[in-house]
Amino acid sequence: MTITDNSRTTAPRPVSSLTRALSQVSLEEQARPAKKAALSIASETLKAQQTRQIVSYCNAIDREIPLIQVNTRRALSTYLVNNQIHDTGLLNQRQKNLCAWTLLEHAARGDSDFKKIYPALVGSYVGAAEKPRFEALARSMNLNPANFIA
């Protein structure tokens, strides 16, 4: 399933409250079947919400490409870095490429928390076929690809 929401014009609200609620579920509660099912549903809901947020940023970037504005790309990379969001599996290839590109750009600019960008994070968005292209992109940004692409 790929989420392609072209109608959304603003980013959905943050999912931090759902993340906190999920992290507070104890191991004992996870063992109960009803609680386990509820936790699974909540986890899938969180993944879908994160995906919608990423798709919203990607759509905004696509609209701004002719203008070459950095703020929306910075917003996407900051969201991914601050929340340490790996590929949710619900993004299309264009959206995955935008995520990987903005993460590399975030590191190259030295934006806040750029040291939290590690190879598995960027690598989750880069497929094997795309890896050489993103390694070349990292080198063109004066980054060591080994530090950012798994």
**pLDDT tens, residue by residue, 8-30:** 445 455 556 555 565 565 555 55
100-120: average pLDDT: 89
Residue 136's CB: how many other CB atoms inside 10 A? 11
pLDDT at 27: 54
pLDDT at 9: 47
Highest-scoring range by mean pLDDT, 12-21, 64-73, 128-137: 128-137
104, 75 Cβ separation under 8 angstroms: no
Q: Say how far apart CA 141 and CA 144 lie, in whole Å.
A: 9
Output the DSSP codes for 93-135.
Answer: HHHHHHHHHHHHHHHHHT-TTGGG--HHHHHTT--TTTHHHHH
